[in-house]
Amino acid sequence: MRGRCLDMVHRLARADERIVFLGSDLGFGTLKKFREELPERFLMEGINEAHAIGLAAGLAFDGRIVYVNTIATFLTRRCYEQVALDLCLHNARVRLIGNGGGMVYAPLGSTHLAIEDIAIMRALPNMAIVAVADAEEMERLMPQTVDWPGPLYIRLGKGYDPIVSDPAVPFVLGKGIAARQGADALIVTTGVCLGPALAAAEELAQTGRSVGVLHMHTVKPLDTELLLDMAHGVRAVVTVEEHTVLGGLGGAVAEVLAEEDFPRMPRPPRFRRLGIPDVFPDKYGTQNQLMSRYGIDQGTIVKTVQALLP
């Protein structure tokens, strides 16, 4: 997913001279061809995220479109004030590409995990947040990022994630995708969690449960219209995200549902969030091991939906 994303930045930059790439201190050879072809628009700033965001803002104020790439947690947490003020307050057209959203860097521990990035980016006015499911969806996303009117946070998964998105379904930044329709329950998910969500829905279908899946690749602005449409009439809504349950997709969905009239309906849907509890993960291992530890997997989704349905 990361490789496809950066390749797309290169491809887009060839066609649009406003585009600038800015990395912190990325891996050796990253975007080598971009650097050779467009050296003036390829910046490697070093390990100085606060400065890098301000620099990107200054470039954007002049009409340039800047793609900034480094590890997600350093791109969101380390330079939060610069993101808030230099980018969001000015509505600057800077695209933050965060490597390793969620628990991709499981072996490296909590210093490198981006498990609250969606929550803190969500809190900033003007910031948009997108987490696609796989590399192919990334390819459909990227052309739409160029002229997005404000700052944008692009959360990357691990890479080599299984392809689960449907190329036949149009991808529109800012709009959710009804990946599967269902009458009994709705699973709302973002990023690479689409895969286990679809698998869980299929497993539940085999037991006679009709479960829909809403792929909310754009967490902000949230497609509340589609969410309410798909949540209407179901008995259970479950959110699934590789992120703390505080303030991310689950929080956003809960806010929308709580302010709707469901509580006054005869049978309001029951609601659960699956994600990382309010802890710093205490284990290393692999991303999948940590996902399982916190119940962000097919089996837990199935059990959670079953427990909510009568």
Partner 1 sequence: MQHSPVCVETQPGGKTPLDARGQKLRLDVVDIFEHARRGHVGSTFSLMEILRVLYDDVLRIDPKNPRDPARDRCILSKGHGCLALYVVLADKGFFPAEELCRFCAYDGMLGGHPEAGKVPGVEASTGALGHGLSIGAGMALSARMDRRDSRVFVVMGDGEINEGSVWEAALSSGNRGLDNLVAVIDYNKQQSYDSTYAVQNLEPLADKWRAFGFAVREVDGHDLCALRAAFGDTPLEPGKPTCVICHTVKGKGYVPAENNLAWHHKSKFTDEDMAGLRAAFSCKRGA
Tell me which of 2, 64, 122, 209 binds partner 1, using CB under 8 A: 64
Instruction: Tell whether residue 86 is a contact of partner 1 (CB under 8 A).
Output: yes
d(CA 304, CA 271): 10
Residue closer to partner 1, measured from CB, 57 or 179: 57
Listed in sequence order, the residues at least 6 apart from 172 whose beta carbon sits closer than 8 Å to its beta carbon are: 144
Q: How many residues bind partner 1 (CB under 8 A)?
A: 28
Instruction: Tell whether residue 85 is a contact of partner 1 (CB under 8 A).
Output: yes
The nearest distance, CB 56 to partner 1, in angstroms, is: 6
**Angle subtended by helix axes 224-231 and 249-258, to nearest 10:** 70
Instruction: Give me the 32-61 binding string for partner 1, x by CB under 8 A, dash otherwise.
Output: --------xx-x-xx-x-xxxxxxxxxxxx
The nearest distance, CB 99 to partner 1, in angstroms, is: 20
- Other CB atoms within 10 A of residue 79 CB: 22
- Other CB atoms within 10 A of residue 190 CB: 32
d(CA 197, CA 56): 36
Residue closer to partner 1, measured from CB, 81 or 259: 81
Classify strands 128-130 and 65-71 as parallel, antiparallel or unpaired. Answer: unpaired
Residue closer to partner 1, measured from CB, 26 or 256: 26
Q: Which stretch binds partner 1 (CB under 8 A): 84-92, 137-145, 236-244, 278-286?
A: 84-92
Tell me which of 89, 172, 226, 246 binds partner 1, using CB under 8 A: 89
Instruction: Tell whether residue 90 is a contact of partner 1 (CB under 8 A).
Output: yes
Q: Does residue 218 contact residue 130 with C-beta atoms inside 8 Å?
A: yes
Residue closer to partner 1, measured from CB, 66 or 240: 66
Of 143, 201, 185, 129, give the one whose Cα is nearest residue 308. 185
Of 74, 82, 70, give the one whose Cα is nearest residue 112. 74
Residues that bind partner 1 (CB under 8 A): 20, 40-41, 43, 45-46, 48, 50-64, 81-82, 85-86, 89-90
